[in-house]
Structure 1
Amino acid sequence: MNTLLEKFDLAPFSKIKNEDFLPAFKTAIENAKAEINSIVTNKNEPTFKNTIEALDYSGAQLDRISSIFFNLNSAETNEEIQKIAQEVSPLLSEFSNDITLNRALFDKVKTVYNQKDRLTLTPEQHTLLDKKYKGFSRNGANLNDKEKEQLRAIDKELAKLKLTFGENVLAETNAYELHLTNKEDLKGLPEGAIEAASQTAKQKEKEGWIFTLAYPSYIPFMKYADNRELRKKLSLAFGAKGFQKNEFNNEEIVLKLAKLRHERANLLGYNTHADFILEERMAGTPNHVKTFLNDLLDKAKPVALKEFTELEAFAKELDGIDQLEKWDSAYYSEKLKNKLFNLDDEKLKPYFELDKVLKGAFTVANKLFGLNFKEVDYIDTYHEDVKTYEVFNDKNELTSIFYADFHPRPGKRNGAWMTSFKGQKIENGINERPHVSNVCNFTKPTETKPSLLTFNEVTTLFHEFGHGLHGMLANTTYPSLSGTSVYWDFVELPSQILENWCYEKECLDIFAKHYETGESIPMEYIEKIKASANFQEGMATLRQLSFGLLDMAWHSGEAPETINNVKEFEQKAFASTQLYPDVAENCMSTAFAHIFQGGYSSGYYSYKWAEVLDADAFDQFKENGIFDAETGKSFADHILSKGGTEHPMDLYKRFRGKEPNNKALLQRAGLI
């Protein structure tokens, strides 16, 4: 019996075998096709209910299997799963095309869409109708048969290329290790980083210490290791992912992805991939995005250049460094920050024990949104590191299941993300509650210490938890409009706004307790955290803008078929934001998973876009009190629970009473 094809509520991880996936996908695709066919062959006149609604509720079994499989491929993959992903992705792409290119189905959708002004629909139903119609028109329903075949071929190839891109980056990350046996080479490194490296070496049955390209290992080394040559070595390895002359090289894949996306957009009647993507974003057009990014660049660049000059002078004075390189950035920034504020991560980490920080995030969710989290051990997980919770609202009703997966391992990609194993919807009068997961890569506990976080990791946890709350508090009728199913440049608002609480004494007092003594974080540290919040904000802004501009260059600039050198193209895109000398052996694009593997193509600007929203929205909390329950309720009612049921600007204005402007962000960042 195939577990994946049985009825289940909680994902039955321990019962699923890898060989179950492919047959389960094939069966679920056939079942979904049958559901679509019953809509198409319905002899009754097309209505919102028998066409639009039926379409949105179809394929639920396939969606569940997909969410389980692709989440495992990110968080607990292996060669077998990756091989299955390569087989499954084209099947899913083909199925998706079978729907959007189904003329009879589109005709029914179009019939309902053409009556929309005469139908009595709720705002959510209006949005769904619009979304379903555009889902067809934007994906080839109006093409002729020959063009439809072209589109199918492009989509199939894109699906495979994105997967291979990600597999190559993961392979390069896992393949590299900096193996040290001389204790002198560890100078400057904090005890926790040394202990973790020793543990990694033991796991690999080697003497000494091993540092890797996984963030919890890589970042402390770049920040603290005194040995400049070793920093350079690790930095070059990190920047060379997908850019080496080996089987994992991503250069051709990047060029193909950009070219195919451009071809696809042209086929559908758009000038560029960015024009196609941004039609369904708050920003609207590539020009609007570029104006937005360049406006911030104008404000940030003078500040960034001043900060960089200060850093150069500091490195020269301290160590006689004549030319700052990329591998010096984190090291001297940390030393300068420590000199200016007498505050480094190692002083703060004892106050940020992972379990306490997580409980702190739970307390914030309780004070603002009335949620209660209860750890349970009956829920099946895919790895022993994963913790599980039942989440209840203030009426003691089960709101969500929450999975927390916080430590790195070989089968898990770098970074941090929120995802779900089951979405929320209301069907047949039953409100199906979501199963939400946060996945991060924080240092594992060692034999002598619990998992202690840097302040940056604290904000990462709150960020992903903000996405999690967007999923947990979802309360919409239709699955495709639920939770984080919103415009891409709106999706970062719930996550980024939650980071603001990490800088507030009232919040830090809840969870920032020394792991050995239990004492609260000293007030002077809190003041220094706030004071240092804008440290090198100009340089940090420039860095984020450089990624947004690179994304727009790949997807809205010159025709990709004329680009034949990834590195040269990237250098041109970076010209206006460059501070450090270029490193010939390194390339950003070949490991830029956000835009070439994930869903951020033509959307990386949305981090900065959402910062404008979050700074403006947090002003409301500051005016009323950061734990004001009424403001929290308003944010939950108008934004978190509504998903994509209405245009995000309408939802935002309902919460804030006005449109956002960038003044709050520029002030918070010290850029004006």
Structure 2
Amino acid sequence: MSIDYCGIRIVLVSVALFITITAILASLRFGARSSPLLSYLKPSGASTFSTSAQRPLLNSTMAPPQYRKPPQLPPRFTATPESLIEDTKRLIARSRAVQDDIVKSITRETANFNNTILPVALDDNKMSREAHIIGFFQAVSTDKKLRDASTEAEKLLDDFVIESSMREDVFNLVDAVAQKKEELDPESARLLEKDHKSYIRNGLGIPAGPKRDRFKEIKKRLSEISITFQKNLNEEQGGIWFTPEELDGVPEDLVASFKKGEGENEGKVWLTFKYPDLFPTLKYAHNAETRKRVFIENENKCSENVPLFREAVLLRDEAARLLGYENHAQFRIEDKMAKTPKTVDDFLGDLRGRLAPGGKTEIAKLLELKKQDLKERNVNDGSESKYFLWDHRYYDRLMLEKDYSLDQQKISEYFPLSTTIQGMLKIFEELFGLVFIELVGADRDALADGGKGSDIVWHEDVQVYSVWDEESAGAEFVGYLYLDLFPREGKYGHAANFNVQSAGNDENGVRRYPATALVCNFSKPTPKKPSLLKHDEVVTLFHELGHGIHDLVARTKYSRFHGTATSRDYVELPSQLLENWCWEPSLIKSLSHHYSHLSTEYENEYKESSGADKKPAERIPSEMVASIISTKHVNDALFNLRQLHFGIFDMTVHTPASHEELEKLDITTLYNRLRNEISQLDGPEALSETKDWTWGNGQATFGHLIGGYDAGYYGYLSSQVYSTDIFYTVFKNDPMNGKEGRKYRHAVLEKGGSKEEMSILEDFLGRKPNTDAFFKDLGIYK
């Protein structure tokens, strides 16, 4: 993403700086590499797994000597609102000076890669090590003043990005270098090619004068819109007061954690729109009116984003036409793997045609279940012939329980967050040849560069790990991994991976190491229970760490190409690939650890709440694992049709026949009408005689399309094609094959965006990727 959403920002002192900062700030805006929508992730795969994930991870107090002293200190999160602005201005001044010096001392005749492109790229590397953190505070800080300063700093960086990307004096020198066709190493050649093209794509292809001025004005306004849109989402504080009776069916321990009402709301509880509150309510609340109200009001949160979304779509279209493109999608997709909007539209249309019959069949079965449920509960509300949007999570869950004996609450008891993370990291140690060392106690102090251990994290809940190569591979340092897993006020509201510091070489050729953060919103522990993960949340964890691993192990010279800085229709591949491991029976069992085994207190609480006289076995029962595996493709067509709604809406608003047509477009109506036509689920429009499509503004909460996935949301589905091909071809028969895992790490993940993405896949697979495994996994055969 969501948000779910979802890059890195750096600025080629000209365009490299522009691209870099663009990536940096884009990533910070929607959560860098976010999942499509937290609990809508659907993975694939199944097979065997060794039990090594049961071994505990090391922490810094017991790590072997070779893993005790990282060669690079972690960043410190001690900024103040004032220092963020000062540091931003310092970075901008330094980068502007690099550009000015090049223009003063170099001519077209003397320009070459080393004196024109390289100084900018090295400054980009420096920029990315500081600018990412400056922008990161707006997503995670508890201090509103610091978040506001981070947002202001991002605006300053964006303005500088636009200024840099439109410096004709710098572009003339870059153009001269491009014309000379020097012999360069492949990554440097790609850098030159990308930078040269980016100046043109960022306005220098427009003759100087009013049109170019207008283009620059549009770019600045789009930056403002993007920043404000995501800030509105991050700081959204909406919710609904409900009586406990209206929340009948919602897990009692969750309802007990809600804020209690006073005065006119005495006896009620406050339900927020944050995921840990929202999703369980939609899944478990028996009262359809409660679910309907929650669904509709959630769709209408952040109403201030409605005009911002419309303005962004119009400005993008205008800018693309100024550059000579037919529409914004043509402009955006030209630089992706798909290359043309037609390729994307054909892919989405083909998939829609294949999935639509399955969607009808699934809805028919769910509607029968709804009729039976209403009859059993003696509910006569006249809705038995309609399957509504607010019905789906509820009856999807009920079907899993009734037909597949899948009780997500019971399953979650076997996946305490702490032990699940430990097991997950052990899997990646075995697969990729990594070692994770949690930094605790005095060892944090030792890495705080004279400060306190708390300085190397931004909140007391955050865990931090140093990551290394295994001893047999040299025990070299890889980077830092942060886990920020619980919701809090002002924090980014979805699940995402953020690059905190990019890697890349400094001016002396010395490697600088990355730092990456998983930012999620899982339920917080209570006095009676630890944080417990449902299976789809385990999948989310694997998905986001897939981005994190990509970020950590990338080995590129230029931060411009580091890790997840790839094309949007490829970037989800590593994260989606790792979802497959969540459907391996032996892995599921190995990851499991019933929470009653964590402590005597938890054991006693379990016995009291369950009425059992003893705690269950530590590992999840085989029959429960079988139930999980059997549900892998249940209602899969509806899930993918929902993803198609997002992708087709995205393409529709970004491919109008004319700008005038776009100005007349009712975006809210389009969003809701397409959802009904594609997903086949009814909304409130089905309850009105006039088919009113304006009941909700879901696009106002769609951070992906403002934060970097515009004309690119299809990438979640196209990346799934590539990742499924890799899994079936390389890993399905032996998912924990460390030899293949290391080969994948070195051949794919290490490359980042330093090579054409399709060539990376072809080199690894030994052939062009194809869709066979993807459709086979969905149960669709050509």
* Residue 129 of structure 1, CA deviation: 1.2
* Residue 108 of structure 1, CA deviation: 1.2
Question: Which residue of the other structure, out of 274, 298, 314, is the alignment partner of 1:238?
Answer: 298
Question: Secondary structure of 1:385's partner?
Answer: coil
* Mapping of residues 419-458 of structure 1, within 5 Å: 419-427=498-506, 428-458=508-538
1:123-168: per-residue Cα shift (whole Å, max 9, x none)? Answer: 2122111111112111112322223322221111111111222233
Paired with 1:627 and 1:656, the residues of 2 have a C-alpha distance of 18
Aligned residues: 650
1:39-86: per-residue Cα shift (whole Å, max 9, x none)? Answer: 222347111111122221124554344311322212226543454355
1:171-202: per-residue Cα shift (whole Å, max 9, x none)? Answer: 4x4132x33344x334222244234336x879
Gaps of 5+ in 1: 1-7, 244-248
Paired with 1:87 and 1:414, the residues of 2 have a C-alpha distance of 20
* Mapping of residues 132-151 of structure 1, within 5 Å: 132-146=195-209, 147-151=211-215
Q: Is 1:325 aligned with 2:355?
A: no
Asked if the contact 2:487/2:521 (under 8 Å) is kept, the reply is yes
* Mapping of residues 159-174 of structure 1, within 5 Å: 159-171=223-235, 173-174=236-237
Asked if the contact 1:222/1:327 (under 8 Å) is kept, the reply is yes
1:247-293: per-residue Cα shift (whole Å, max 9, x none)? Answer: xx222211110011111111112111111111111111111101001
Per the alignment, residue 392 of structure 1 pairs with: 468
Per the alignment, residue 670 of structure 2 pairs with: 569
* Residue 106 of structure 1, CA deviation: 0.8
Question: Which residue of the other structure, out of 81, 102, 105, is the alignment partner of 1:18?
Answer: 81
TM-score norm. by structure 1 comes to: 0.93
Q: Match for 2:220: what amino acid?
A: K
Q: Which moved more, 1:30-39 or 1:455-464?
A: 30-39
Q: Match for 1:400: what amino acid?
A: G
Q: Is 1:355 aligned with 2:413?
A: no
Asked if the contact 2:261/2:268 (under 8 Å) is kept, the reply is yes
* Residue 572 of structure 1, CA deviation: 4.7
* Residue 446 of structure 1, CA deviation: 0.6
CA distance 1:396–1:207, change in 2 (3 Å): farther
Q: Is 1:194 aligned with 2:255?
A: yes
Percent identity reads: 31
* Residue 564 of structure 1, CA deviation: 4.8
Question: Secondary structure of 2:479's partner?
Answer: strand
Paired with 2:253 and 2:438, the residues of 1 have a C-alpha distance of 27
Asked if the contact 1:503/1:526 (under 8 Å) is kept, the reply is no
Question: Secondary structure of 2:204's partner?
Answer: coil
Question: Which residue of the other structure, out of 134, 147, 153, is the alignment partner of 1:69?
Answer: 134
Paired with 1:531 and 1:69, the residues of 2 have a C-alpha distance of 45
CA distance 1:201–1:430, change in 2 (3 Å): farther
Paired with 1:333 and 1:283, the residues of 2 have a C-alpha distance of 34
* Mapping of residues 302-341 of structure 1, within 5 Å: 302-320=357-375, 321-341=384-404
Per the alignment, residue 5 of structure 1 pairs with: none
Q: Match for 1:500: what amino acid?
A: N
* Residue 11 of structure 1, CA deviation: 2.6
1:96-115: per-residue Cα shift (whole Å, max 9, x none)? Answer: 12222212211111111112
Question: Which residue of the other structure, out of 468, 479, 484, is the alignment partner of 1:405?
Answer: 484
Question: Secondary structure of 1:351's partner?
Answer: coil
Asked if the contact 2:354/2:780 (under 8 Å) is kept, the reply is yes
Asked if the contact 1:36/1:58 (under 8 Å) is kept, the reply is no
* Residue 29 of structure 1, CA deviation: 0.8
Per the alignment, residue 589 of structure 1 pairs with: 699
TM-score norm. by structure 2 comes to: 0.80
Q: Is 1:294 aligned with 2:349?
A: yes
Q: Match for 1:114: what amino acid?
A: Q
CA distance 1:529–1:415, change in 2 (3 Å): same
Asked if the contact 1:303/1:671 (under 8 Å) is kept, the reply is no
* Residue 222 of structure 1, CA deviation: 0.5
* Mapping of residues 443-592 of structure 1, within 5 Å: 443-517=523-597, 519-560=618-659, 561-574=662-675, 576-583=677-684, 584-592=694-702
Q: Match for 1:545: what amino acid?
A: L
Asked if the contact 1:158/1:257 (under 8 Å) is kept, the reply is yes
* Residue 362 of structure 1, CA deviation: 0.7
Asked if the contact 1:28/1:59 (under 8 Å) is kept, the reply is no
Gaps of 5+ in 2: 1-71, 376-383, 445-452, 598-616, 685-693
Per the alignment, residue 650 of structure 1 pairs with: 759
1:419-471: per-residue Cα shift (whole Å, max 9, x none)? Answer: 12210112323111101111111000111111101111100000000000000
Aligned-residue CA RMSD (Å): 2.1
* Residue 91 of structure 1, CA deviation: 2.6
1:479-538: per-residue Cα shift (whole Å, max 9, x none)? Answer: 101111111111101000001001002322332121214621122222221210101000
Question: Secondary structure of 2:465's partner?
Answer: strand
1:579-636: per-residue Cα shift (whole Å, max 9, x none)? Answer: 222334212212111102x111011000000111111100133355111111111111
Q: Match for 2:722: what amino acid?
A: L
Paired with 1:607 and 1:362, the residues of 2 have a C-alpha distance of 24
Paired with 2:578 and 2:754, the residues of 1 have a C-alpha distance of 22
Per the alignment, residue 713 of structure 2 pairs with: 604
Q: Match for 2:406: what amino acid?
A: L
